Amino acid sequence: MNIKRKYYFLAFSILPLLFILKNPGITPHTQMMSQSLLRPFLSAGSSFSSSFTDFFNYFNLFWKTFEEQQQNRARISELESKLELYQEAVQENQRLKKMLDFKSQHRGKSVAARVIGWDLTPWRKRVILDKGSKQGIRKDMPVVVPEGLVGRILDVGTSTSRAILLTDPDSRVSALAADSRGNGLIAGNGSNALEFRFLDTEAGIAVGESVLTSGVTQLFPKGIRIGKIKGLSRDKDGLHLTGEVVSVASFSKLEEVLCIASYQPQ
């Protein structure tokens, strides 16, 4: 006898007994005998009903907990996003306050601008600003941040402009060492370090000196900070020194800049 036949046999055996229990004409003695025979099945059914009820209650509890967890995760994600926006706003306010303080320390006309893009050419170090001729931007205006010089305006559109950074290979700025007063030329090489070229070997220039714009040309007023000398080495011809200069500005983190028409520290 296979399993299916066993279940059919069991079902057909129990059904008559259940009929006897429900029949009002059956004597009490017969009902008692039927209940005794059905007791294991009735107990199993009761146990199954209780187990099913417990399972259903546990499942409801699990599902409620799962839904609460999902809601909590969504709430946490929302709060984290708000916190990030708040922190970004705080940092932006700090940068703008620093820029305004820096602007107030100097006379002359200047225009604040935001960096909205970078030159896609890998070896070029140029940025796109959100201000142009309509806002008073002019070609060759020095571009600075509170720390110091970062470049100059290369070309100007109506509402946008492009600035070449000091680190660009085509960038050149006349400069001097703050203590020894030795003159040279700051040139970019495509990396974060700047080269202080054509330094006189007898000028007494030393590592650690600050480097400023010299004002020799009309492009950059005298006295704008550029960086500090990190190292010195002789040129290939042996006639001059070349200094490695670390810029005071962080070129990779430029967000807001100031384009100035004149520079007169107080």
Confidence of residue 134 (pLDDT cuts 50, 70, 90): very high
Q: Are 213 and 194 in contact (CB under 8 A)?
A: no
Cα 146 off chain centre by? 23
Residue 34 confidence (pLDDT) above 60:
no
| pLDDT higher than threshold 60 for residue 48 | no
pTM, rounded to two decimals: 0.64
Model confidence at 181: pLDDT above 90: yes
pLDDT at 6: 47
Domains of the chain: 3-58 (no CATH), 105-266 (2.40.10.340)
Q: Which residues of 207-245 are buried (b: 16+ CB within 10 A; e: fewer)?
A: eebbbbbbbeeeebbeebbbbbbeebeeeeeeeebbbbb
**What is the bridge-based pairing of β-strands 210-213 and 225-234?**
antiparallel
- According to the model, what pLDDT value does residue 8 have? 46
- pLDDT score of 146: 87
